Amino acid sequence: MANRMRVLLLGLVAIGAARAICAQQFGVGATYGWYNDIEKTFQLGNFRSPAWEGWLETRLDQNISLRLAYGNMHVPGDNVGQVVGPPESPLVMPDYRDRIQYVSLSVTYLFWEGPFTSGIFGGIGGYSIRPDSISPEFDPFRDARERVFGFNAGVDGSLRVARQISIVGRLTYHGILSQTKRSLLVASAGAEFRF
């Protein structure tokens, strides 16, 4: 008798969980964009590419979604063009790039306007910074190779163009808690498929 009750209880829990899972809306998407290093100053003409991101998303509620994203940016080193080294033999840092890859988890609050949806979002993530190779005399002065935490916040909007497909636009601020405290603003556009 006790085994039958357990099987019945487990069956009811499984049915309830399946209904909850099926009621969720999932989505996958990708964007391509342009970054702007706003650590010291912001100028509209400083947006550069490439910056791209892909994500998986689930709706937790009609107005709230949870997004797991992976992104990649290839940005100039933090001290490119600056004078470094001892005063008796100063060096000017050459042009080199940092490859920044990240995984973030963010929550979005959505506003509905018919086929158009807008939202504000914020989240945390892990960032990997890998600077390009440069001449050995500059190596001690380039950005550190590190893995750090960071946060992101921004606004996004999407326009549904088909039943399951939307065009997406997003403006994201990335605060990267590295040794050089990078601050990047990314404007991007792409598509999302919901199922």
The torsion angles phi and psi of 164, rounded to 5 degrees, stand at: -120, 5
Going by C-alpha positions, the residue among 105, 96, 102 that lies closest to residue 51 is 102
What is the secondary structure of the chain as a DSSP string? -HHHHHHHHHHHHHHHHHHHHHHS-EEEEEEEEEEEE-SS---GGG-EEEEEEEEEEEESSSSEEEEEEEEEEEEE-TTTT-EES-TTS-EEPPP-EEEEEEEEEEEEEEEEETTEEEEEEEEEEEEEEEEPP--TTTGGGSPPPEEEEEEEEEEEEEEE-SSSEEEEEEEEEEEE-STT-EEEEEEEEEEEEE-
SS (H, E, C) 119-134: EEEEEEEEEEEEECCC
Q: How many CB atoms lie within 10 A of CB 124?
A: 11
Task: List the CATH number of the domain containing 68.
Answer: 2.40.160.20
Domain annotation covers residue 6? no
Domain annotation covers residue 156? yes
23 vs 149: which has the higher pLDDT: 149
pLDDT in tens, 81-134: 888 888 888 889 888 899 999 999 999 999 987 889 999 999 999 999 999 888
pLDDT in tens, 5-14: 665 555 555 5
Domain annotation covers residue 110? yes
Domain annotation covers residue 8? no
**Structural domains of the chain, count:** 1
Going by C-alpha positions, the residue among 131, 76, 122, 128 that lies closest to residue 103 is 128
pLDDT value at residue 89: 83
Domain annotation covers residue 9? no
Q: Is the pLDDT of residue 143 over 70?
A: yes
Q: How far is CA 139 from CA 80, 94, 143, 148, 193, in A?
A: 12, 11, 9, 20, 44
Domain annotation covers residue 19? no
CA distance 101 to 134: 20
pLDDT value at residue 20: 47
pLDDT in tens, 35-51: 998 887 888 888 888 89
Residue 178, domain extent:
25-194
pLDDT value at residue 33: 96
Domain annotation covers residue 11? no
Domain annotation covers residue 42? yes
pLDDT value at residue 49: 84
